[in-house]
Amino acid sequence: MEPVTPSFTANVQPETPKKMAGLSLQKVFLGAILFFLLLGIWMYVSSPLLITVTGSGEVSVPATNATLSLTLTANDSSISTAVSSVQSKADAMRTFLKSKGVAEGDIAQSQVTALPAGLITAGATGFQATVSMAAKTKNVSNVPGLVTDLYINGALVVSQPLLSVENQDLLSQQALDSAMVDARAQAGKIGNSNWKFIRKIVSINQVSSPTTSTSTTKADAVTSATNTTAATNGVFKIVKAVSVTYKMW
């Protein structure tokens, strides 16, 4: 008797059209969600909020130096005598300034110029020799008295003192840093209110005040108490302003 080989019949039912249609709709729905999600992200990234804010910062500092410019003249019928006379005045003025504590290196002097006096004053005769000098003193509080002494010692004209401070680069940087902090704070408020938390600076423009002045203000009580120079010399402000443009997403 021959062995009988068993046989198996697979009972496979074909996928119904209803299931296939449901799967296709699900794919279309998920694809649509993904499309609109990517579209939203692209629009968000490609259309940032662009704002420009202005920040300001200032540093109040005492004046540490005063520079005075003065003019000396001498008249004579002889041009050589006029030149030597004004040079003698300049030498005497240099000696006087050093006696007042002005360092030799802080005294500058121009070349002597000589012109016919008639070109300067109508009807004058002879020649007028002129020399200009400048002196920088650290005794700022005594500048008014020094101006008077310069006239007494032969100065024809003394310009208004120009006040300045040491470490100007450091002070300017401090004012700039303060201005940038101010601009960043303003940008932060705008960004947070518009749900924009990613920020990038795209441009910065600076405006600054000079680090010299012809006048000071009286230091406040706190500054005077902590800085004796400010109390006697007065203070002026170094101001920095920055215009900063941000992109925000």
pLDDT in tens, 50-99: 999 999 999 888 888 999 999 999 999 999 999 999 999 999 999 999 99
What is residue 169's predicted lDDT score, i.e. its pLDDT? Answer: 85
Place of tokens 């000396």: 72
Residues in a beta bridge with 69: 134
3-state SS string for the chain = CCCCCCCCCCCCCCCCHHHHHHHHHHHHHHHHHHHHHHHHHHHHHHCCEEEEEEEEEEEEEECCEEEEEEEEEEEECCHHHHHHHHHHHHHHHHHHHHHCCCCHHHEEECCCEEEEHHHCCCCCCCEEEEEEEEEEECCHHHHHHHHHHHHHCCCCEECCCEEECCCHHHHHHHHHHHHHHHHHHHHHHHHHHCCCCCEEEEEEEEEECCCEECCCECCCHHHHHHCHHHHHHCEEEEEEEEEEEEEEC
Partners of 83 in beta bridges: none
Is a pLDDT exceeding 60 seen at residue 119?
Answer: yes
pLDDT of residue 214: 76
Lowest-pLDDT range of 39-43, 125-129, 202-206, 234-238: 39-43
| pLDDT for the residue numbered 155 | 96
Structure tokens at 3: 């062995």
Q: Which of 14-18, 45-49, 62-66 has the highest mean pLDDT?
A: 62-66
Which residue segments constitute the domains of the chain, with CATH numbers given? 46-62+167-248 (3.30.110.170), 66-161 (3.30.70.2970)
> Would the pLDDT of 8 be above 80?
no
pLDDT for 221 equals 57
pLDDT attached to residue 125: 92
Band (pLDDT 50/70/90 cuts) for residue 232 is low
Q: Comparing 36-40, 142-146, 162-166, 225-229, which segment has the lowest mean pLDDT?
A: 225-229
> pLDDT class for 37, splitting at 50, 70, 90?
confident
What was the pLDDT predicted at 68?
A: 95
Tokens of 38: 């990517």
Q: Tell me what pLDDT residue 116 has.
A: 94
Q: Could you identify the residue written with the tokens 């992200």? A: 41
Report the percentage of the chain scoring pLDDT > 70: 81
pLDDT of residue 137: 94
Q: What's the pLDDT tens digit per position in 172-213?
A: 899 999 999 999 999 999 999 988 888 999 999 998 777 777
